Amino acid sequence: MPLPKAELHLHVEGTLEPELAFALAARNGVELPYADTEELRKAYAFDDLQSFLNLYYELMAVLRTEQDFEDLADAYLERAAAQGVRHAEIFFDPQAHLARGVAMGTVVEGLWRALGRSEEKHGVSTRLIMCFLRDESADSALETLEAAKPYLDRIVGVGLDSAEVGHPPAEFRAVYEAAAALGLRRVAHAGEEGPPEYITEALDVLGVERVDHGLRCMEDPALVERLVRERVPLTLCPLSNVRLRAVDTLADHPLAAMLDAGLLCTVNSDDPAYFGGYAGDNFHAVRDALGLSEEHMRRLARNSFAASFLEDDEERRAR
Ligand code: HPA
Ligand code: ZN
C-alpha cells in the first residue's frame, strides 16, 4: 500500500507521456518532428529549465480539443492514484493554449470532465490552479485572468511559472491583487533557478501562501528562519531538480537539510512525463538517495495534506 499523499506541484501539460502525445497527434492530424516515442524520449536530456520548456511547449501542439484535455488529465489521475495520491492540486498554463488558438473553455471544461469524476473513478480529490507565464507580459496575465472569469467556479487559485530568471515576481503585482480580490488562492514558482530574493518578493508583493520549489532559500539563513516561523509550505520536486540541473545528483539534494531546518517541505513531481517519475517515485527516490527514515516519509505525507487547499474535514477524509 503506497503512503497516502497529496500532490501540490504538478503541471498537467507535463504529464503528457510520449505514447499519448503520438496518439493525440494522430487523432488531430498534427505532425511531430520525431519519428516515434523512442526518438522523442531521446530529446528528454535537459541542460536547464529553458531547454525543458522548449520541448514542453512544442509538444502541447497535440492538445486541441476538450477530449484531449480530458484524456490527459484522466491518464495522470490514474497514474497518481496508483502511487498513493489521494488529492491533487493541478496547474495548467492557459496562455500556452490561447496562443495556439485553443480557447479557455476548451481547456478548463476538458480538464473538468476528468477532474469532476476523479473522486468517484480514481479516489483522488482535485483542485485546479491557473498559472501565468512569467516570460509573457503582465498585461497578458491580466487578460488571461479576464478570460478565466466565466470558469472561476472551477479554479481555486493562481500560480506563476515558466522561465524564472529575469522575470521577478513583482512584475505580476497587479494580476495577483486582482486574483485575490476575486477570492482566488495564490502560489508562485520562486527560487527554482531564480535567487532567494524572488521568494521574498513572492511572499511580500504577490501575497503567496505557498512557494513552488523554493529550493534556493537555503542560500539565505534569514529567509529560512522566516519560512520556518511563518510555516510557509514549499513544494519541492526532487527528480525535476536533478533533470533540470538545479542539483548535481539526488544525493546532493537539500531536502534532508530543509526538513532538519524545520521547513514545511512537500515532495511533488512537477512534470512527471519528462522528469522520470510520479509522486510516489519522487518519495522513493529521496528516501533511497538521502536515507530518509519512515518518520521523515510520514512527515512529508502529513505536510502534503497540511499544505493543501483542502478544508479540514476534507483533509481528514483524504488522508
Ligand atoms: N518550472 C517553471 N515552469 C514550469 C515548470 C517548471 O518546473 N514546469 C512547467 N512549467
Ligand atoms: Zn513547476
Give pLDDT < 50 ranges for the chain: none
9 annotated binding-site participant: yes
Does a structural domain hold residue 89?
Answer: yes
The DSSP string of 148-201 is HGGGGGG--EEEEES--TT--GGGGHHHHHHHHHTT-EEEEEESSSS-HHHHHH
Residue-level pLDDT at 94: 98
Residue-level pLDDT at 27: 98
Does a structural domain hold residue 112?
Answer: yes
Residue-level pLDDT at 319: 81
**Residue 39 known to be catalytic:** no
**pLDDT per residue over 173-221, tens digit each?**
999 999 999 999 999 999 999 999 999 999 999 999 999 999 999 999 9
Does a structural domain hold residue 317?
Answer: no
Q: Which of 7, 89, 192, 193 is catalytic?
A: 192
Distance of CA 189 from the midpoint of ligand 2 (Å):
7
Cell numbers 497540511: residue: 306
Residues with CB under 6 A from ligand 1: 11, 14, 49, 56, 161-162, 189, 192, 240, 270-271
How many distinct structural domains can be found in the chain? 1
CB atoms within 10 A of CB 168: 17
Q: How far apart are CA 212 and CA 236, in angstroms?
A: 7
**CATH number reported for the structural domain that contains residue 21 in this entry:** 3.20.20.140
Residue-level pLDDT at 1: 84
Does a structural domain hold residue 315?
Answer: no
Does a structural domain hold residue 314?
Answer: no
Q: Which residue's CA is the nearest one to ligand 1's atom 10?
A: 162
Distance of CA 95 from the midpoint of ligand 1 (Å):
14
Q: How far apart are CA 186 and CA 156, in angstroms?
A: 9
Residue-level pLDDT at 315: 80
Does a structural domain hold residue 32?
Answer: yes
Does a structural domain hold residue 39?
Answer: yes
Does a structural domain hold residue 221?
Answer: yes
Residue-level pLDDT at 36: 97
Residue-level pLDDT at 98: 98
Residue-level pLDDT at 316: 76
Structural domain harbouring 118: 5-309
Residue-level pLDDT at 314: 83
